[in-house]
Structure 1
């Protein structure tokens, strides 16, 4: 019980390490506490106390007072190709904390905790605050450590055009275009994600293989052979998820096409802790949910789609491949 109760302290220590740049300070090799404190311009004794806790949870190794990063700790470096630094900072942001502070009230009343805390939904909140929108987009992209797995899990050999719907900073589309050189891509999202996506996808834009467009996937999506919904549907209730899927169905080639859905899919029984933690997070932040396979099938059917394939990915993620139901339109 005590380990569970001090869990938030661990998260705060990790966020502090990200904010202070500890992983970047250790990126070139081991440092003593004094050396690292001088480089980061912080106080040595408090830093060493923080480092000892980071060693206890596996982010650094402590060799007689010389600290070096572990493979997990390297993920807090801003230069790491799969960096989770921005995600650590996002999860420690004030609006995440304040929404979670309303969890018990949300269970009592049924009111969404984020709306209770701020008087508006999280997407409206972020859209009105450009700095928060940039951190949100960067933090969500940092959680896409499965991008390479997605790009390799589906056979893109017969695909001409891919649309990454709500594609954030473009990490998933970048992985697809890098692995499959014949594919043309388009990323559609709200304005807050446009510049990070353009920057990441610039080489493909320069080649004429990619475009980044502003759009609202609740209204329409670009035409494509394959539409990717990467951690999108869990943000929305069933009616909104059906609308998004129906828009993808309407934008497919006649009688063909695929929707690739990357989500954590809950089992009908059992308790996968990471997926269930994100399910509660969706309840707190967005009003959405992680769904079981059978619940996804019901939403897909209402949109004129059905699952024709499924692949496992890292971090309890799954890739659902959906195809149009013959003769059915949503």
Structure 2
């Protein structure tokens, strides 16, 4: 930003800071000075402005989440002064941040008081599918620095995270327990309807053993065992992750076990159905082949594998997982894949791709069979 004289001066043929047709409320007329004959009109800047200000919106969002402003609005409208008093913040900057986020549809301001919109309600910590933890994770320094490294990733192909931290994302989590807990909480906080779409969208057997490979704290396995009481299950992930599992419910007693290990080398054997939910997109093709190879080695012919991941259209059609594909670029060596990509990985690992079914959520259900 440049210094601006306090005394307005006449100007012709010049535009001031943010003085564009999209930014001004008054009509804009063209003059010979403003728009010389034969010169194309300036391109619209609205979408570009949203992109270049994106990090500002993300930081404003983090501010209200860190101070749990949404929780303070659970019982109804409050002024910025009331919210500041209860959150230990200052009213004026808080009001300005809330005003920005109101323009983005998370809050509503009326008569000097703020309320939550339906979208903003997801920021509360006490609602099903709370997005409090995911917001804290994706606006954490880890992701901000990784995103800043995208220009370098475009040149080198290496994740921006590795350049910023000198190690891989998962190695960093292993050495930083607080970040690991944040990651696990964010993964667990995904809306419960996502698991419902999975349990509704696939014909799970009435009996048998399910092995959830890379299953985190076991949210999906818990829902499966609850929905299908004839199933048993094994939760398999990093030892520190499975130690904080979500399976210890009375109605599931005796029907589950946990194992910690490395899915690159081996996974529990003897399962009838293996799950890989949001695992393969974290990894490059060569790593996916190692994971799938370990899974296939644990399976008997005819056993089923259910891969739960986004499937990108192969014709360039916009898809919500395109954002996530860039997260993979900046943080890991993974990627979102097309149906042809998944078929190649599965064919190369001793599987036959049977079918792909879309769900109302981001992910599709990719069923394969061990051959």
Query: TM-score, structure 1 length as denominator?
Result: 0.91
Q: CA deviation at 1:21?
A: 0.4
More moved, 257-266 vs 156-165: 156-165
The yes-or-no answer on 1:100 pairing with 2:100 is no
2:254 maps to what in 1? 208
Larger CA Rg, structure 1 vs 2: 2
1:185 aligns with 233
Count residues in correspondence: 322
Aligned mate of 2:281, from 234, 251, 264: 234
Q: Is the 8 A contact 2:206 2:228 kept in 1?
A: no
Q: Secondary structure at the match of 2:248?
A: helix
CA distance in 2, matches of 1:204, 1:281: 38
Structure 2 residue matching 1:221: 3-state secondary structure: coil
**Which one of the candidate residues 295, 309, 315 is aligned to 2:355?**
309
* Structure whose residues are more often helix by fraction: 1
Runs of 4+ in 1 over 3 A off after TM superposition: none
Partner of 1:155: 203
Task: Return the alpha-carbon distance in structure 2 between the equivalents of residues 154 and 315 of structure 1.
Answer: 14
SS at match of 1:306: strand
TM-superposed deviation, 1:205: 8.4
Structure 2: which 5+ runs fail to align? 1-47
Cα deviation 1:80-115 (Å, max 9, x = unaligned): 120111111111111211122111112122333222
- Within 5 Å, give how 1:289-300 maps onto structure 2: 289-300=335-346
Gaps of 5+ in 1: 326-330
TM-score, normalising length: structure 2: 0.82
By how many angstroms is 1:206 displaced?
6.1
Could you say which residue in structure 1 is the equivalent of 2:104? 57
CA contact (8 A) 1:308 1:321 kept: yes
> Within the alignment, does 1:123 sit opposite 2:170 as a pair?
yes
Specify whether residues 158 and 167 from structure 1 end up closer, same or farther in structure 2 by C-alpha distance, changes over 3 A only.
same
The equivalent of 2:186 in structure 1 is 139
2:315 is equivalent to residue 269 of structure 1: yes
Paired with 2:253 and 2:120, the residues of 1 have a C-alpha distance of 36
2:87 aligns with one of 30, 40, 58: 40
How big is each residue's C-alpha offset from its partner over 1:167-200, in whole Å with a ceiling of 9 and x where there is no partner?
1122222221222222212111113312432xx2
Superposed CA RMSD: 1.9
